[in-house]
């Protein structure tokens, strides 16, 4: 399985919309269906031409299966991502996060931030693997179309990581990254 990450182009609006809709249907994203399609079809132009923004697309064996979006604002890069259900747990999220961190570093950011639902264990594990830590619990911040109200967890990490120090301090014995280092 070959994973390739590439920058989105102006022509990727419909592709990004399709990926976003397929992932949003599971309820893991802040945005819920139906999405405003113009936000993607017109918005992709802003995302690809604004130096403070980037969308990267992951392809597996040539098929687009996920994205990560990054927006630099006041030194912090805000991230959003999703992978098609059948392609999760195979390293695509890791490849996208690695690419986004590289982009953020080149963009001159000092830190990365994102928000995740507390029950999204797979995403939280991915973010912890990349040494994001929880900095805020936004209690009751998300009213869902179902009427439910969910918390959001804001996670952040500095761009530069002291990996030796992290390995020394890291407490999770199940982590593959901890075993690999």
Ligand X SMILES: CC(C)(COP(=O)(O)OP(=O)(O)OC[C@H]1O[C@@H](n2cnc3c(N)ncnc32)[C@H](O)[C@@H]1OP(=O)(O)O)[C@@H](O)C(=O)NCCC(=O)NCCS
Binding site for ligand X (CB under 6 A): 23, 28-29, 81-83, 88-94, 116, 120-123, 125-126, 129, 176-177
CB 79 within 8 A of CB 69: yes
CB of 150 to ligand X, least distance (A): 12
Residue nearest to ligand X (CB): 93
Q: CA dihedral in degrees (149, 26, 155, 105; nearest 10)?
A: -140
DSSP three-state, residue 62? coil
Minimum distance between the CB of residue 96 and ligand X, rounded to whole angstroms? 7
Q: Which is nearer to ligand X, 129 or 131 (CB)?
A: 129
Give 55 or 81: the residue with its C-beta nearer to ligand X.
81
Shortest distance (Å) from residue 62 CB to ligand X: 17
Q: Which is nearer to ligand X, 31 or 110 (CB)?
A: 31
Omega before 150 within 30 of 0, i.e. cis: no
Q: Give the residue with the Cβ less far from ligand X, 10 or 143.
A: 143
In the DSSP assignment, the letter for residue 35 is: P
As measured in angstroms, the least distance from the Cβ of 49 to ligand X is 25
Q: Which is nearer to ligand X, 44 or 114 (CB)?
A: 114
Contact yes or no for 46/69 (Cβ under 8 A): no
Token pair recorded at residue 127: 């973010």
Least spacing, CB of residue 157 vs ligand X, in Å? 14
CA distance 95 to 169: 24
Query: How far is the C-alpha of 47 from the C-alpha of 141, rounded, in Å?
Result: 26
């Amino acid at each position: 399985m070959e994973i390739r990450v590439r920058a989105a182009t102006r022509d990727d609006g419909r592709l990004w919309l399709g990926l976003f809709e397929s992932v949003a249907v599971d309820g893991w994203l802040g945005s819920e269906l139906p999405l405003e399609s113009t936000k993607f079809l017109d918005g992709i132009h802003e995302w690809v031409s604004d130096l403070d923004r980037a969308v990267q697309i992951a392809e597996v064996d040539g098929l687009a299966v996920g994205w990560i979006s990054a927006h630099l604002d006041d030194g912090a890069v805000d991230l959003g991502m999703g992978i098609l259900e059948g392609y999760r747990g195979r390293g695509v999220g890791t490849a996208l996060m690695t690419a986004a961190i590289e982009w953020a570093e080149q963009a001159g950011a000092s830190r990365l931030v994102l928000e995740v639902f507390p029950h999204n264990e797979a995403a939280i594990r991915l973010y912890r693997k990349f040494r994001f830590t929880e900095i805020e619990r936004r209690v009751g911040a998300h009213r869902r179309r179902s009427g439910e109200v969910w918390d959001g967890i804001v996670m952040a990490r500095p761009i530069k990581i002291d990996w030796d120090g992290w390995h020394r301090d890291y407490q999770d014995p199940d982590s593959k990254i901890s075993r690999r280092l």
